[in-house]
Structures are given as C-alpha cells and as structure tokens.
Homo-oligomer: A and B are copies of this chain.
Amino acid sequence: MASNEVEEAVKRINSHKGVMGVLVVNYDGVPIKTSMEAAETVQHAALITHFTQKAKGVIKQLDPDNEVTFLRVRSKKHEILIAPDENYILVVLQNPGSAFVNE
C-alpha cells in the first residue's frame, strides 16, 4: 500500500462511530500513521508492538506451524484491536460498547 492509501485507510477507520484511535506501527515499535496525540502514540506503539510479539511467540511455542491473525484486548475503558500484518501492525482503539469490529 502506498503511504497515502494507508493515510486514507486510517482516516476511514477513525471516522467510524466508537473508534477512539487508529495507529499503524512497524515491528520496531515505530509509529507510521496515527490519529492519536504524539505522547499517546509513542506509548501505545511501544507497548502494543511488544505485546503483539509476545502473542506471536506464545502461539508459535504452542504450535510452530500456527500464526496469530488477530488480537483483541478488552478492558473496562476500551477495546484494543490488533491486526498484525507481515511488516506492520494495525491497531484500533474502540469504545467497548460500540461495534466497529464486533464479529
């Protein structure tokens, strides 16, 4: 995806009802695109990248032929949706009562 396509996608997702923030980060924890404020972006990027690596490690340890496709962390205040792609991780923060992704 070209950079402007990524930007459009981030904007589109962010416009959904209940979406509190969108972040695209690489596996070094470097934010590529964000709808959040700078400090919040850096903190989320670092913690969520590390957490995603952890999840990938757990799944590989349980079965080396398996692979993480999607992660959801629901908390009292929001739900974090994490879609780990080959080079980038897409992170969406949504209101727990809303339904951007509610499959």
Contacts and interface: CB of A to CB of B under 8 A. Distances in A.
Interface of A: 43-44, 47-48, 50-51, 54-55, 58-59, 61-63, 65-78, 102-103
19 contacts: A44-B62, A47-B61, A51-B54, A58-B73, A59-B73, A66-B78, A67-B75, A67-B76, A68-B73, A68-B74, A68-B75, A69-B74, A71-B71, A71-B72, A71-B73, A71-B74, A72-B72, A72-B74, A102-B103
How many copies of this kind of chain does the complex include?
2
A72 B47 CA distance: 17
Q: Which of A51, A58, A71 has the most CB of B within 10 A?
A: A58
A19 to B, nearest CB: 17
